[in-house]
């Protein structure tokens, strides 16, 4: 009787709390309390299957996932805890049966809404009024001018994962599109974030021509003492390296360029790997998610290593050079790992400033190649084919040149710059925006609607 009484009491508490407040955190906390009460009382009596059925129905009435997290008593910030736990819940705060009249659109015009609805219904193969990942794939393939095949496969996979394999009602999909047009940070699609923990963008560095040409040199002004120390450290290191390597003396030559970039890339691949490994152990130790940062830093380290592997096909360093690399890598790696354990934000700000200098360096290299005299060693890079490994990795095309290669590397460095500066602004429990499935899906929906809006006048004619 004690077990039955405790169980019913805890269940009623969860139900009444959920009725008064539909907030997901409160519901999960209440159901977690119910679970703990039931566990204690089960030592005396566990017999009521009807109570278990009642409890399950109450919990699932408010949470679309059948997995309710156990919230340890030591957790102080339940918001951060739940943010790390929640994954493929289709949308815990939205009613999937919400009607068209209840939804309402603020940005979608009636004409555009009807146009989108017609396209959705055309790919709804099973006529259930929902769009699943396979149907989304067919939909996006109608817009190949806007989406590459690799993007279509990526978006459909994230759509599948983010909605736990469920189809999304057409009205909810239209509402999500309306949200993106309003500029909301998160649409009402409610995609889960678990994919951020294992997602890798295999086509990430296949830059479009406009991406290569529009790289800007930017600078984040230091605001804290830590930022100022990081910037000062980068300036000192650059000054010493420029003078030691003779970079500022005389004209820029192919020999100077290769010496500089090969050495720097042996060091540049260290921070990403160090950050990923430390964060990996932290995730295991704390038994929590990392929000997609581990994969991003692993990919960053791989990208920097690909820079190196490409450049060494253009020049094979000698023994002395390799010895200097070993010493430099050992010293820098040791210092960076220790610094990262103490202050990750300082390290990411430091790397962000390093990448600012890298973008500046590659911009000078590109300018020197473009302005070099025809027939000179540097001028030949305007038309000389890039190494095969570089053509393959960056998809430079059959006739990709060394100049194209340098532009692709500069685009990589610009992204690393922005990524590391952005990480400094993230809080514990935040999901990496660049690997956030919901953000990527929202971006795809926005691109899709823009393509529809540009197509519509042409099709009317």
Place of tokens 């015009």: 109
Which of 437, 440, 426 is CA-nearest to residue 198?
Answer: 437
Structure tokens at 260: 């500089």
- DSSP 8-state assignment for residue 163: T
- Cα–Cα distance, 411 to 422 (Å, whole number): 17
Annotation-wise, does 121 bind a ligand? Answer: no
Residues 162 and 199 sit within 8 Å (Cβ to Cβ): no
Residues 260 and 254 sit within 8 Å (Cβ to Cβ): no
CA separation, residue 401 to residues 7, 253, 382, 387, 390 (Å): 71, 17, 7, 8, 10
**Phi-psi label, residue 84: left if phi above 0, alpha if psi -120 to 50, beta otherwise:** alpha
Residues 41 and 6 sit within 8 Å (Cβ to Cβ): yes
Which of 457, 273, 450 is CA-nearest to residue 347?
Answer: 273
Annotation-wise, does 304 bind a ligand? Answer: yes
Residues 429 and 80 sit within 8 Å (Cβ to Cβ): yes
Annotation-wise, does 413 bind a ligand? Answer: yes
Partners of 159 in the β-ladder: none
- Cα–Cα distance, 89 to 191 (Å, whole number): 7
Annotation-wise, does 265 bind a ligand? Answer: yes
- Cα–Cα distance, 398 to 223 (Å, whole number): 46
Residues 160 and 191 sit within 8 Å (Cβ to Cβ): no
Residues 258 and 311 sit within 8 Å (Cβ to Cβ): yes
Which of 315, 303, 297, 261 is CA-nearest to residue 393?
Answer: 303
The C-alpha angle 446, 451, 452, rounded to 5 degrees, equals: 95
Q: Quote helix, strand, coil % in the chain, to nearest 5.
A: 65, 0, 30
Compute the radius of gyration of the chain from its Cα atoms: 27
Place of tokens 């290593």: 305
Partners of 130 in the β-ladder: 169
Q: Which residues carry a binding-site annotation for Fe cation?
A: 265, 304, 307, 355, 413, 416
As annotated, the binding site includes: 265, 304, 307, 355, 413, 416
């Amino acid at each position: 009787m004690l077990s039955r009484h405790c169980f019913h009491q805890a269940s009623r508490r969860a139900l009444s709390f959920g009725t008064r407040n539909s907030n997901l955190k409160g519901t999960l906390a209440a159901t977690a309390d119910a679970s703990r009460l039931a566990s204690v009382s089960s030592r005396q009596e566990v017999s009521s299957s009807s109570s278990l059925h009642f409890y399950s129905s109450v919990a699932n009435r408010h949470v679309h996932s059948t997995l309710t997290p156990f919230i340890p008593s030591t957790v102080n910030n339940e918001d951060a805890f739940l943010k790390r736990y929640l994954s493929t819940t289709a949308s815990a705060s939205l009613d999937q049966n919400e009607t068209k009249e209840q939804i309402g659109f603020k940005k979608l015009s009636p004409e555009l809404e009807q146009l989108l609805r017609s396209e959705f219904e055309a790919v709804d193969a099973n006529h259930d009024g929902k769009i699943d990942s396979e149907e989304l794939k067919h939909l996006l393939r109608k817009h190949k001018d806007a989406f590459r095949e690799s993007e279509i496969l990526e978006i459909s996979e994230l759509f599948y994962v983010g909605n736990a394999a469920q189809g999304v009602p057409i009205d909810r999909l239209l509402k999500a599109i309306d949200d993106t047009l309003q500029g909301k940070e998160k649409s009402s699609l409610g995609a889960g974030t678990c994919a951020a923990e294992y997602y890798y963008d295999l086509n990430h560095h296949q830059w479009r021509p406009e991406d290569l040409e529009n790289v800007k040199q930017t600078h984040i002004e230091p605001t804290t003492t830590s930022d100022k120390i990081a910037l000062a450290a980068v300036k000192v290191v650059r000054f010493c390296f420029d003078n030691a390597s003779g970079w500022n003396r005389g004209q820029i030559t192919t020999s100077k360029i290769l010496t500089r970039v090969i050495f720097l890339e042996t060091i540049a691949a260290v921070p990403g790997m160090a950050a990923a490994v430390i964060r990996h152990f932290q995730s295991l130790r704390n038994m929590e998610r990392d929000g997609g940062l581990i994969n991003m830093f692993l990919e960053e380290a791989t990208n920097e290593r690909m820079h190196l592997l490409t450049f060494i096909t253009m020049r094979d360093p000698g023994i002395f050079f390799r010895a200097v690399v070993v010493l430099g890598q050992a010293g820098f790696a040791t210092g960076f790992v220790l610094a990262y354990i103490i202050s990750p934000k300082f390290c990411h700000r430091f790397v962000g400033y390093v990448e600012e200098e890298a973008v500046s360096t590659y911009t000078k290299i590109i300018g020197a190649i473009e302005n070099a005299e025809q027939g000179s060693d540097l001028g030949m890079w305007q038309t000389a084919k890039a190494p095969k490994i570089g053509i393959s990795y960056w998809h430079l095309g059959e006739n990709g040149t060394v100049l194209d290669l340098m532009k692709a590397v500069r685009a990589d460095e610009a992204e690393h710059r922005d990524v590391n500066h952005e990480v400094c602004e993230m809080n514990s429990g935040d999901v990496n925006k660049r690997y956030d499935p919901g953000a990527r899906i929202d971006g795809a929906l926005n691109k899709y609607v823009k393509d529809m809006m540009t197509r519509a006048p042409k099709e009317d004619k």
